[in-house]
Chain A
Amino acid sequence: MLAYTIKRIGLGLLILIGVMFAMYAAVFIVPGNPARAALGPRATQEMIDRLTREMGLDQPYLVQVYNFFVNVLSGNLGIDVISNRPVATEIWEVLPNTLILCLVGLGWATLLAIPLGCLAVLKRGTWVDRAASLLSVSVISLPYYVVAIYALLIFAVQLNWLPAIGDGDPGDIGSQIRALILPAFAIGFTWVGYLARLVRASMLDVMGEPHIRTARAFGVPEWKIVTKYGLRIALIPTLSLLAVSLGGLISSAVFVEVIFSRPGIGKLVTAAVNLRNYPVVMGTVLVMTGIYVTLTIAADLLIARIDPRIRDAFRGA
């Protein structure tokens, strides 16, 4: 287990370093000075020179890469060229908001999808199964931002039940929860279908195995077999696929935040892209990639802990 853990973490770190290198190199591949791009067409040469010095762009490339790595490792992601505040602080301020949104969105989707998947397996081949799978496919393919905008139009603008924008008043938990409902609904929507499908598919794989057959022979009721023996094993592949797809969750959070004007990573980064604010974009991408890589490693380790076959397979490779 230890060898597997070290190898898995090492690979994750290597990927992160690769991403950092690629992003830093990309800025230099493009013609033009990033400082000039950040300041816009009306900047004077003096302003550009000053920012170039501040960003360390006048130093040799390798020195810059070295500085970049040292800074990132010490938690310094550079300075926002527009607001002049540290990028790390800006990210830290809005990150919890985004994480809460992702967690609540994924949470309600999971709570609904697992029973739906079980139901489809219990009633497999019947209209219930077909209806559940039709629902899953439709829900997966619908773009979440269209869902978000339609939900906004119906529940916030027409019915006026829930707030259309923002994340609620500071200190007022009730208004914050109300502001969370629509965005979390929009984010989780796709996942209901995705997860229900995963649970159903991985459970159907399990249902043919000998221990299930034995349980059936003992007269254990079908619903108990599905929930107690089937679900437990089916959760392993579900968990691993879930981890791989977490990047999609972050991506949908970006758009949902923009649509609902909800402070968070998505709003921060899209505003920065429009202003060509390099440090903020790079910092955000780095932090989110770091979180994503960490989560996939955690999921892999968890799966290896639950399922010894996987770490054995890795040792043999």
Chain B
Amino acid sequence: MPSGVLEILKRVTRDPLGLLGLVLVVIVIGAALFADAISPYDPARIDVLNKLQGPSAAHWLGTDQLGRDTLSRIIHGARVAMGIAVFSIGIGAFIGLILGILAGYGPRWLDAVLIFFFDSLSAIPLILFALTVIVILGPGTGTLIFVIALISIPVYGRLVRAQTLSLRRSEFILAEQSMGASLPRIVGIHLLPNVLGPLVILVSMDIPTVVALEAALSYLGLGVKPPTPSWGTILNDGYVSLRTNPSLVIAAGIPLVIATLGFTFFGEALRDALDPKLKGRRAS
């Protein structure tokens, strides 16, 4: 790992797109962290007299079908989007890391079993898989986190496995083994730090995908339940009143554009800064 977070950030911002990405990411994370402080209104406050209004001085992005302030709902939606992304990717990456190391460093039969598991999980088209789990467990935030974590396990697992496989034959690991180093020592001190770098890059590039997926499922009414504001439910509210008040659907799309573009630009610049070898690769 290169020394210091500051040094990495400096390299990211040298790329103009990286800088733009960083700015957008900071806006989204800032909105998520300080949602209560910066929202002009309570996102749940209903004001039927002022429903479905266009942008005005009082409501910068207008109001929805219940007269709730769209800007406040979008700001609070950032908190929901980021929260779900952090939790689900965190769980997925943790389990993927363990399974990947097991597959790469464990016995061959275990590797075969895990690879089969990864292949089967990713053989089902993503959305259909998500819908299956939702129909069984019922919609909700918990189900959403579970689904996204489950979907990302094979992606992270495969990456960690590939890294582990190439590392276990490297000379410094062989040297450790011949000197009689214990298994926890090899895995914890030598494998883990070398595997974490690429994993962090992949995770940062997965955030836009997860944000888009959360909003997509919430849009269908299968993710975050109302009245919790999610970018997906706001988009659906806008879709329903597309003809009467188009400003709502336009406003609802903007945070999704900002978040996905921001995290993608930032992730790409971060990858180039951390590992030039991976240039051109991308999580699909």
Chain A residues packing against B (C-beta within 8 Å): 11, 14-16, 18-19, 22-23, 26-27, 29-30, 134, 137-138, 140-143, 145-146, 149-150, 152-153, 157-158, 194, 197, 201, 204, 241, 244-245, 247-248, 250-251, 254-255, 258-259, 269-270, 272-274, 276, 278, 281-282, 284-285, 288-289, 292-293
Contact = CB atoms under 8 A, between A and B. Distances in A.
A14 B125 contact: no
A19 B127 contact: no
Contacts of B242: 149, 152-153, 157
Contacts of B221: 274
A15 B119 contact: yes
A244 B282 CA distance: 13
Interface in B99-156: 116, 119-120, 122-129, 131-137
A289 B119 CA distance: 12
A137 B264 contact: yes
Nearest to B232: A145
B103 to A, nearest CB: 16
Contacts of A14: 116
A284 B135 CA distance: 13
Contact of A19 (B123, B238, B243, B263): B123
B208 interface: yes
A62 to B, nearest CB: 20
Interface residues of B, number: 47
Contact of B264 (A140, A150, A288, A293): A140
Contacts of A281: 131-132, 135
Interface in B208-224: 208, 212, 215-216, 219-222
Nearest to A277: B135
Main secondary structure on chain B at its contact with chain A?
A: helix
Nearest to A26: B136
A153 B256 CA distance: 17
Query: What 10 pairs between A and B have smallest CB-CB spacing?
Result: A251-B127, A141-B264, A247-B125, A143-B212, A250-B125, A18-B120, A146-B253, A141-B260, A201-B280, A285-B128
A289 B284 contact: no
Interface string B231-258: 0000100110011001001100100110
A150 B249 CA distance: 8
A141 to B, nearest CB: 4
Contact of B216 (A145, A197, A288): A145
A289 B125 contact: yes
Contacts of A289: 123-125, 128
B216 A255 contact: yes
A31 B253 CA distance: 38
Contacts of A282: 132
Contacts of B44: none
A23 B129 CA distance: 10
Contact of B239 (A142, A259, A270): A259
B118 to A, nearest CB: 11
B136 A157 contact: no
Nearest to B124: A289
7 contacts: A138-B261, A149-B249, A153-B246, A250-B127, A251-B127, A251-B128, A285-B128
Contact of B235 (A149, A201, A269): A149
Contacts of B263: 141
A4 to B, nearest CB: 17
Contacts of B17: 134, 137
Nearest to A194: B284
A23 B257 contact: no
A247 B155 CA distance: 14
A29 B124 CA distance: 20
Contacts of A244: 284
Given A273-B131, A276-B135, A143 B268 contact: no
Nearest to B280: A201
A251 B268 contact: no
Nearest to A281: B135
A251 B124 CA distance: 10
B135 A278 contact: yes
Contact of A254 (B127, B239, B264): B127
Given A19-B123, A292-B123, A273 B135 contact: yes
Contact of A157 (B215, B246, B265, B280): B246
A255 B127 contact: yes
B120 A19 contact: yes
Given A146-B256, A273-B135, 6 more contacts: A153-B249, A244-B284, A247-B126, A254-B131, A255-B220, A284-B128
